[in-house]
Amino acid sequence: MQYHFLVGNDNGNSEHDIYIDGRLFQQPNVNCAVDQLPWSEEQAPETIVRNLQENLIVTIDSPAARAGMYYVGKFALESGELIENIQVGVDYKYEIDLPVVNTLAQIAAVAVQKGFAEEKKLPASIDVSADMATALPITQHSDESAAKFEKRFMNGPHHVTVHVGKQRVAVKVEFEFVKVIPEATPVTFSLQKDADGNWRKGDIFDAFVEENDLPNNFNGSFFKNKRILHTDIGDGSTEYPITEGNKFLRQFVHGTNHGAGYAIEEALSEFNRLIHLPDSPRQFFSDVIKNPNHKYHARAMNTLKRPLEGQARQIINNIRKQLTKARNEIDLICVYGGGSILMQPILAPMLKELCEEREIQLLYIPAKYAVTMNANGLDAFVRGKIYGAIKDRAKQPV
């Protein structure tokens, strides 16, 4: 069986948001290396295939990562094994194995699901070719680091064995072309266009339209020539790039090691003390915060309040620095990223005051869309004419 996938891949510090074949998959961005399968009895493949992302176990044989068997994403997090994650403020994404392993695992899993749906049984093997757009934090992105990350994927083939119960499917993944761009750049595509390539409309803009007395037929064309100061608040870093239209302005590269992850790290020991655990991973704390019905939610939020205020103040200070550097010649501050949801009650009032002072509009992306802005933009980018032109140019002989 052979498939070709378009992949928009956002490897976040906390969450992996990846579009494969037009579908969005979201997983905790963790894995763990293991020696054996957890199952001793045969299981019906259709049950596992249906929920394969939640039961993802792969064996990787790739020139780009350490060979071995891995639990990936949610299954790793809930396994009780010692997990690997992207260390906040320490790891360079283009150098470590985790983004490569998890990306290959997700692509292979989708191939298995697609093959099973078509054949009504597990195929023995599948060949996947892929075109992929992914991104690096702007503080890590350079021509050299982007090329290094691209080569790790393109120097294949990558052999992935997907374990479906005790059965196995061999998936060979080869990347036709990979383009690594600075984070935030894809968001300009996400603001302007929807998945079908039309000007974006809808509830993502409702609050912005109301606050700025804009017409009811407002759409993404509004942003096509705007000079935007992005504030992409992640787990381990916040990026403050400036874009003009779809162009990333290299002279305004700025990113800092501030984000929700630092607040969580600071609150984690107190949280563990309150719930009588000697230790728990950052992702567990993140899951508790996201679930208002969790029995520890109130305690988690209480331990988080003061650290979040400290991070929000740091972010405001860095936004001020960027505005000063740009001489306030900014049309719009756009705030998004997983960390923006937690910080919204604290950060949004501070930003509104700053924007009124500097005569700038504020677009605080609603929680429903905040996490996937980069992934949406990467998906739009890999499907678009610009990606096609870059790919064609790269394939021409020098």
Name the helix (H) or strand (E) containing 310. Answer: helix 297-325
pLDDT at site 105: 98
pLDDT at site 89: 63
CATH superfamily of 186-370: ATPase, nucleotide binding domain (3.30.420.40)
Q: Kindly state the DSSP code that residue 246 receives in the 8-state scheme.
A: T
Cis peptide before 157 (omega within 30 of 0): yes
pLDDT of the chain, 398 residues: tens digit per residue? 999 999 999 998 888 999 999 999 999 999 999 998 887 777 788 889 999 999 999 999 999 999 999 999 999 999 989 899 887 667 889 999 999 999 999 999 999 999 999 999 999 999 999 999 999 988 788 999 999 999 999 998 999 999 998 899 999 999 999 999 988 788 998 999 887 888 999 999 999 999 999 998 999 999 999 999 999 998 777 889 999 988 887 778 787 778 787 888 888 888 888 888 888 777 788 889 888 999 999 998 989 889 999 999 999 999 999 999 999 999 999 999 988 998 999 999 999 999 999 999 999 999 999 999 999 999 989 988 889 999 999 887 76
- For the stretch 226-272, pLDDT in tens is 999 999 998 777 889 999 988 887 778 787 778 787 888 888 888 88
Q: How far apart are CA 66 and CA 53, in angstroms?
A: 21
Cα angle 132, 229, 359; round to 5: 155
* pTM, 2 dp: 0.86
* CB-CB contact of 267 with 309 (8 Å): no
Asked, colleague to colleague, whether 2-182 and 186-370 share their fold, the answer is: yes
240 burial level (CB within 10 Å; 0-12, 13-18, 19+): buried
Sequence-separated contacts (24+) of 215-222 with Cβ below 8 Å = 220/191, 220/192, 220/193, 220/194, 221/192
Q: Which residues contact 54 (CB under 8 A, 6 or more apart)?
A: 73, 74, 75
* CB-CB contact of 107 with 3 (8 Å): no
SS3 of 372, please?
coil
SS3 of 5, please?
strand
* CB-CB contact of 186 with 381 (8 Å): yes
pLDDT at site 239: 86
Report residue 333 as tokens.
């501050």
* CB-CB contact of 197 with 220 (8 Å): no
CATH architecture of 2-182: 2-Layer Sandwich (3.30)
Nearest to 90 by CA among 278, 252, 339, 265: 265
Cα distances from 376 to residues 22, 147, 264, 308, in angstroms, run 10, 22, 26, 27
Strands (E), the chain: 2-11, 15-20, 23-28, 30-34, 57-62, 65-72, 84-85, 125-136, 158-164, 167-182, 227-233, 238-239, 242-244, 247-248, 255-256, 332-336, 361-364
- For the stretch 12-37, pLDDT in tens is 888 899 999 999 999 999 999 999 88
289 burial level (CB within 10 Å; 0-12, 13-18, 19+): buried
Sequence ranges of the domains in the chain: 2-182, 186-370
DSSP string, 79-102: S-S--EEPPTTT--TTTSSHHHHH
Q: What is the number of residues in the chain?
A: 398
Residue with tokens 């390539």: 197
Q: How far apart are CA 194 and CA 203, in angstroms?
A: 13
Nearest to 234 by CA among 144, 335, 339: 339
Q: How far apart are CA 272 and CA 326, in angstroms?
A: 43
